[in-house]
Structure 1
Amino acid sequence: MNQLEAVKSGFLVCIAGCLFIFAFIYVKNTIPKGANEQRHSLELAECGFYPDELCSALFEGKDAASQIGRLCQQALRGRGMSTCVRTPCNCSMVRKGLHFITRPLSEEEGNFSLAYIITIHKELDMFVKLLRAIYMPQNIYCVHIDEKSPKDYKVAVQGLVSCFENVFIASKRETVVYAGFSRLQADINCMHDLIPSKTQWHYVINLCGQDFPIKTNKELVQYIKSKWNGKNMTPGVVQPPHMKHRTRISYNEYAHAGKSYVYPTKKVKSEPPHNLTIYFGSAYYVLTRKFVEFALTDERAKDLLEWSRDTYSPDEHFWVTLNRLPDAPGATPDAEWDGNIRAIKWSDQEGKSHHGCKGHYVRDICVYGLGDIKWIIESPHLFANKFEPETYPLVTDCLERRYRLKVLQQAEVPLEEHWALQEHAYFNMKPNI
């Protein structure tokens, strides 16, 4: 099939899908309120029509696809995909039913284990999507659950995690406050758990529950080995003047009665310990194992951590400052913003690094909508942030299908049937989906 025919076929499917949705909405609205089982069956049937052709059109940035996609999302919103996690299931059913990769996909990947720190507090379905995307049996995963998360959420996450020997809950958990020290402490708690683990991981990567990978595990390993080769990735620069307020005065955390925030005090802070130059950068990193050991044991690191307790968003200066020390393991003193870790659409970067957010902004960060998909997959970054499946379910659905297809196409071992995310002709699909 040539490209023109493929495009025509795609649009015909989209039109058919649109008609199907209108029919679905009409039938759904005529069903009596008590007919929950019938309504659920219709929703499941409707969810099966869209992915391949519509996702392909979204990857190409077609406006018509976005319009149809918005209709799809009305029906998809609120649909849970992790029922087995919420209800008792044996672990074999969890691993196969949720399509987890169960063997290293290449010798290179098998010999280069990664560690992950994942901080979460809500949206179980998004956590399942993220974990199964980045999961490889040779890696190790520390999951930090916010202490203020609902009990049923914690139980569900614990149930999922218990099915994997290389995934565990952090032994010490924090009540995380946005921009507070507790966010930094959560990562450090996981690091204390990861260092003594039997898995001889090479690098650690931190993620939050609203991240999703752009690069596969194989691509990630090759990028680290070829571009960094024993060096740390902590994008950042010397703290600019407009950010100095974060470390000049003291800040306190407030977390009570469902509210949490950081607020400034009138107390002026002392100078940084050991005459350290404070840097400002990303809270997200890719760090060597030796650097993590250094960060947990070096006196300068310990003193900087203590000094940072009452600063604003200390995770945005702690790692980058330590990594600029010339004698730190894997240090990159002159790196500046090098390292494509996160693809983020910041509101103040409209017209510069991107052409606007097609979803909506939260704290000046874009929550991706359908029109952002093409920008995401063309990004050179390793991961993207931020996603909200409850609001834009089709965004993550399309991205994870494309991502899993790429993972399987790069595999150097025989494929298991349950690794596919969909039942029909998955292994014969075109690579440009």
Structure 2
Amino acid sequence: MWPIGRSFSSQNLFLCLVICQVVVCMLFVIYRNTQSLEHRLAILTSRWAAREDGFDFPEGPWNVTDSDVVRCSDLINGRFPSEAAINRTIDAIRETVIKDYEFIELTRDCTKFAWERGYYNKPITKEELDFPLAYTILMYRSVHQVEQLLRTIYRPQNIYCIHIDSKSPPLVHIGMERISRCFDNVFIASNLENVYWGTINIVKAERHCQKDLLNRTDVSNWKYLINLTGQEFPLKTNLEIVQILKEFKGQNDIRTLAQPVEEWTYYRHVLEGDTIRQTTLLKTEPPPDKVPVHKGPFFSALARQFVEFLQSDIADKWLEWFNDTKNADESFTQTLASYPNAPGGPGPIGSKAIISRDIVWSSERLRERRPCYGKFVRRVCVHSWRDLVRVSKSIRLFANKFHVEYDGLVLQCLEEAIHNKTHNPPMLTFHFIDDFSSSE
């Protein structure tokens, strides 16, 4: 305790110290009240709170600076250095891309690999521990890019199934197998398919992983499954994803559109080489239970009970019926979600989009609102660093798609942003679902 001297100045000093301690205590109580569990963990609004680490996303025109220093926080906020500096940075990142075969040597010491690659350096809350997630990752190329995705979304309480296209190069299989051996909760699917665009094998590959995830006993209480490809990347932290999915209260995040293209669904198709071709033969057998076929994007976030429903006998009948159709991956889940007894149904959102994925199609009309500054591959935007301004502040959970060989800078900046938000969680507010629906 501070001694009380006889002098007037000493008494004043002591009183000032006491008053300061009282003020500090009061401020701490106020802070704790505003940071109560209900307020901190309640979901959520479309406007993420502004932060002081450069990710406040101001509106306004892009500015080109004369600086040769490339900072992700500048790119995200629309402040661009010279094009020459950007190109040099992209070229330098391209030179650091790890070859598939190099992961064999990198994973000889799994402990060193996991720590140096950033798998174990993330804080985890009790809320995340109580709400484990499951992931499927369908991939066919670039062990480097898939590993970057994996380390960004990795948490020890989650579980990850990776399906590798069986016709992918051997070094892709070996590299991913070596990585999966380093983690108890990462594994390669027990059955691998030859995956061709538009064929039923995409659905089969996804179901293989779903079945494996349901049969695992080490992480048997996961709540939701998010299906990814190796060319996607998160826009939200694990904590944000958990908080958003908890708001769904067991419902699915599935987008269902109008009836599918008749030629795709009601004519028989055959695979010739690596291309699916429509024949002139009509399908004669009616759909199971005479339920109308529904269509929507392949991307989704599914409640565990619905994933179990996708392994049922009725799902097997639909798998057989879709076997010779085109783009069955865009109808299988949507159609089964339309059943009255389907757990979680098609989801709670009366909008035209899904929360789980941000994707820009070449056919979109609102090009000013959702531009693509990269390139289009099969009608889907492959993002570049110029897309960071919009993509980084998207309300959705993941973005599609990215090619590290085309532009690794956009991936590096998104990973940096996720890292910063993970270690400095933003304040989230209420009514996320309603705000998302009204914004679409």
TM-score (norm 2): 0.77
Check 1:334–1:134 CA distance in 2 against 1; reply closer, same or farther (3 A cut): closer
Q: Distance in 1 between matches of 2:68 and 2:302?
A: 48
After superposition, the C-alpha distances for 1:390-410 in whole angstroms (9 at most, x for unaligned) are 110111111111111111223
Check 1:326–1:373 CA distance in 2 against 1; reply closer, same or farther (3 A cut): same
After superposition, the C-alpha distances for 1:319-357 in whole angstroms (9 at most, x for unaligned) are 111111111111137856353121111111153473532
Structure 2 partner of 1:45: none
Correspondent of 1:136 among 152, 155, 163: 155
* Matched position secondary structure for 1:149: coil
Structure 2 partner of 1:15: 67
Mean CA deviation greater in 95-104 or 118-127: 95-104
Q: Distance in 1 between matches of 2:185 and 2:347?
A: 33
User: Quick check: which one's helix share is greater?
Assistant: 1
Structure 1 unpaired stretches of 5+? 18-49, 412-433
* Matched position secondary structure for 1:171: coil
Is the contact between residue 361 and residue 380 of structure 2 (CA under 8 Å) also seen in structure 1? yes
Give how far 1:62 is off: 2.7
Q: Distance in 2 between matches of 1:151 and 1:120?
A: 13
Q: What is the letter of the counterpart of residue 419 of structure 2?
A: R
Quote the sequence identity (%).
33
The 5 Å alignment of 1:274-313 reads 274-297=289-312, 299-313=313-327
Is the contact between residue 104 and residue 137 of structure 1 (CA under 8 Å) also seen in structure 2? no
Structure 2 partner of 1:261: 275
Q: Distance in 2 between matches of 1:377 and 1:111?
A: 27
Q: Distance in 2 between matches of 1:78 and 1:310?
A: 43
Correspondent of 2:339 among 316, 325, 332: 325
1:100 and 2:124 correspond: no
Mean CA deviation greater in 76-85 or 157-166: 76-85
Mean CA deviation greater in 55-64 or 399-408: 55-64
Is the contact between residue 250 and residue 267 of structure 1 (CA under 8 Å) also seen in structure 2? yes
Q: What is the letter of the counterpart of residue 357 of structure 1?
A: C
Is the contact between residue 68 and residue 82 of structure 2 (CA under 8 Å) also seen in structure 1? no
Mean CA deviation greater in 135-144 or 397-406: 397-406
The 5 Å alignment of 1:322-401 reads 322-332=336-346, 335=349, 337-352=352-367, 354-401=369-416
1:211 and 2:261 correspond: no
After superposition, the C-alpha distances for 1:119-156 in whole angstroms (9 at most, x for unaligned) are 11101111011000111000000000110111111111
Structure 2 partner of 1:236: 256
Give how far 1:190 is off: 0.7
Is the contact between residue 65 and residue 79 of structure 2 (CA under 8 Å) also seen in structure 1? no
Q: Distance in 2 between matches of 1:399 and 1:234?
A: 25
Q: Distance in 2 between matches of 1:371 and 1:102?
A: 29
Correspondent of 1:69 among 86, 94, 97: 86
The 5 Å alignment of 1:170-189 reads 170-189=189-208
Structure 1 partner of 2:288: 273
Structure 2 partner of 1:85: 103
Q: Distance in 2 between matches of 1:396 and 1:121?
A: 18
Give how far 1:67 is off: 5.5
Q: What is the letter of the counterpart of residue 218 of structure 1?
A: L
Of structures 1 and 2, the one with the larger relative CO (CA 8 A, separation 6+) is 2
Question: Which 4+ runs in 1 deviate beyond 6 A?
Answer: 11-14
Give how far 1:71 is off: 3.1
Check 1:68–1:338 CA distance in 2 against 1; reply closer, same or farther (3 A cut): same
After superposition, the C-alpha distances for 1:36-77 in whole angstroms (9 at most, x for unaligned) are xxxxxxxxxxxxxx4xxx211110123436563233213332
Is the contact between residue 236 and residue 335 of structure 1 (CA under 8 Å) also seen in structure 2? no
Is the contact between residue 262 and residue 312 of structure 1 (CA under 8 Å) also seen in structure 2? yes
Structure 2 partner of 1:427: none
Structure 1 partner of 2:223: 202
* Matched position secondary structure for 1:347: coil
After superposition, the C-alpha distances for 1:235-277 in whole angstroms (9 at most, x for unaligned) are 112315xx2221011112244xxxx221111211133121111
Check 1:302–1:408 CA distance in 2 against 1; reply closer, same or farther (3 A cut): same
Q: Distance in 1 between matches of 2:349 and 2:290?
A: 21
Q: Distance in 2 between matches of 1:65 and 1:109?
A: 41
Q: Distance in 2 between matches of 1:302 and 1:71?
A: 52
Q: Distance in 2 between matches of 1:334 and 1:383?
A: 19
Q: Distance in 2 between matches of 1:236 and 1:330?
A: 14
Mean CA deviation greater in 333-342 or 200-209: 333-342
* Matched position secondary structure for 1:164: coil
Mean CA deviation greater in 157-166 or 80-89: 80-89
Is the contact between residue 233 and residue 338 of structure 1 (CA under 8 Å) also seen in structure 2? no
Q: Distance in 1 between matches of 2:420 and 2:93?
A: 22
Check 1:84–1:13 CA distance in 2 against 1; reply closer, same or farther (3 A cut): farther
TM-score (norm 1): 0.78
Is the contact between residue 104 and residue 136 of structure 1 (CA under 8 Å) also seen in structure 2? no
Structure 1 partner of 2:180: 161
Q: Distance in 1 between matches of 2:237 and 2:322?
A: 34
Check 1:197–1:65 CA distance in 2 against 1; reply closer, same or farther (3 A cut): farther
1:224 and 2:241 correspond: no
Is the contact between residue 177 and residue 254 of structure 1 (CA under 8 Å) also seen in structure 2? no
Q: What is the letter of the counterpart of residue 253 of structure 2?
A: M
Check 1:234–1:320 CA distance in 2 against 1; reply closer, same or farther (3 A cut): same
Structure 2 partner of 1:250: 268
CA RMSD of superposed structures (Å): 2.6
Bigger CA radius of gyration: 2
Check 1:327–1:265 CA distance in 2 against 1; reply closer, same or farther (3 A cut): same
